[in-house]
Structure 1
């Protein structure tokens, strides 16, 4: 397993870097600094993990300060984090991988690690009073949407992974619009022109079977994961109608086979409206 974790981070130091337009400090060892920032992204202190170190790392990746070989090394570390015992490490790994894949880097091993982790993650809390923001569902959704647009990822794979996440039992209701984030991610995947109509709709079949089965006997209320799935698919229907923005502030792009997707969503959701 590749490791890149550095020493405990001083947030004030990285605030100074941020305030200097994120310039690399003179004479600094860039790989060592990236090691330190990678370590910050698994820190249980939210001021360390979700503050200036995160912003500086994001900026350096966007500006190609972190070059290709170092990005690949960092990506492997983040993929390994999907097996980390600490939830904040697992939940923040997809954010960094999303930045890296957006720059054009992709290792199939990263995708495989993400496929194993996303539907299996059990800690779906949005926020912890001590550890801060976690948002595994939303952060994973962002990476899912980016992978789903990558030409090296089969076009039906990421929508199917979203369905697996929605069908995984949990007692945690999505919060802070995590259902919307996941719906937007799937919608982005469904803009790919190489999707067949069967691929654009077939990933919904397991969800259709789940809703058609109705509430389990002896369960007095709608299970949390069923509620999460319902709300996610309702938003997806809206996006299939309106189109989805591939980038913040960009134009809306129509979903490929949008009419067929809307028809299938209506068929899948109808039994749920009757049963719940």
Structure 2
């Protein structure tokens, strides 16, 4: 794609936007990540609302793309769009179907570069968690189901941190009842209760490590800007912390 290094605060032409969207499918990580995604992330806030929504529709369609890198970079752009205040329930539905169905969970590939389905999906989950038009309770269920889906992939590129952060962001929503803040963990508790002696399956290890991140954020609060701004407490922080600790203790004898 054309290498655009200018930083002028102007929206791209339709042709330039189309070029970047096409390049977001590229198997070349430099073209896809360093050029196309970087440009799109910069352009999204500059687009008129109708152009952002059209771009959101295109990203939602990418969730069914046959190319893994196309599927996993769509949520990053869609997260930027949702962060600008735009939302369509169809985007959330398409994301949920993909996030729970994606089986290629590689963080990094030698040739394709970063893929990071779990982490990139978690970024969109966090953006949806901040979106007032989206019911937060189903997002918690989505995060839980992603964790409990059997996989041979052991998180090795901070996927647990990104997903734990996303769940914590969702749990800051003021409209969540205490029951809603806790009941999404019931399937995890049931899964852990049914565990048999032997090696810990990758999905269970992933779940435990993600919940440890969530426990930390329930204790300290979460900064929606990740490293900036005041920490925002989870809506029912103490109850969440106790429930997470109790669930972890089921399979972690050192947890207390």
| TM-score bin, normalised by smaller chain | over 0.9
Tell me the CA shift for residue 160 of structure 1: 0.8
Does 1:104 find its partner at 2:82?
A: no
Give distance in 1, aligned partners of 2:165 and 2:82: 18
Match of 1:53 in 2: 36
Give distance in 2, aligned partners of 1:195 and 1:117: 25
Does 1:41 find its partner at 2:19?
A: no
Tell me the CA shift for residue 31 of structure 1: 1.1
Match of 1:157 in 2: 138
**So what's the TM-score if we normalise by structure 1?**
0.88
Match of 1:136 in 2: 117
Does 1:201 find its partner at 2:201?
A: no
Alignment size in residue pairs: 254
Give distance in 1, aligned partners of 2:109 and 2:201: 22
1:57-72 matches, within 5 Å, as 57-62=40-45, 64=46, 66-72=47-53
Contact 1:148 1:157 in 2 (8 A): no
Give distance in 2, aligned partners of 1:247 and 1:149: 11
* Per-residue CA distance 1:180-203 (angstroms, 9 max, x = gap): 110000000000111000000010
Q: RMSD across aligned C-alpha pairs, in angstroms?
A: 1.7
Give distance in 1, aligned partners of 2:37 and 2:147: 28
Tell me the CA shift for residue 274 of structure 1: 3.8
Give distance in 2, aligned partners of 1:250 and 1:120: 34
Match of 1:264 in 2: 243
Change (3 A) 1:253 1:275: closer
1:1-276 matches, within 5 Å, as 9=1, 13-14=2-3, 17-18=4-5, 20-22=6-8, 30-62=13-45, 64=46, 66-215=47-196, 220-248=198-226, 249-274=228-253
Contact 1:22 1:56 in 2 (8 A): no
* Per-residue CA distance 1:160-197 (angstroms, 9 max, x = gap): 10000000000001122110110000000000111000
> What is the DSSP-based 3-state SS (H/G/I as helix, E as strand, rest coil) of the residue aligned with 1:89?
helix
Change (3 A) 1:255 1:275: closer
Tell me the CA shift for residue 61 of structure 1: 1.3
* Per-residue CA distance 1:82-112 (angstroms, 9 max, x = gap): 1111100010000000000001110110000
Match of 1:3 in 2: none
Larger Rg: 1
**So what's the TM-score if we normalise by structure 2?**
0.95
Consecutive aligned runs of 4 or more in structure 1 exceeding 6 Å deviation: none
Match of 1:4 in 2: none
Tell me the CA shift for residue 159 of structure 1: 1.0
Gap regions ≥5 residues in structure 1: 1-8
Give distance in 1, aligned partners of 2:114 and 2:218: 30
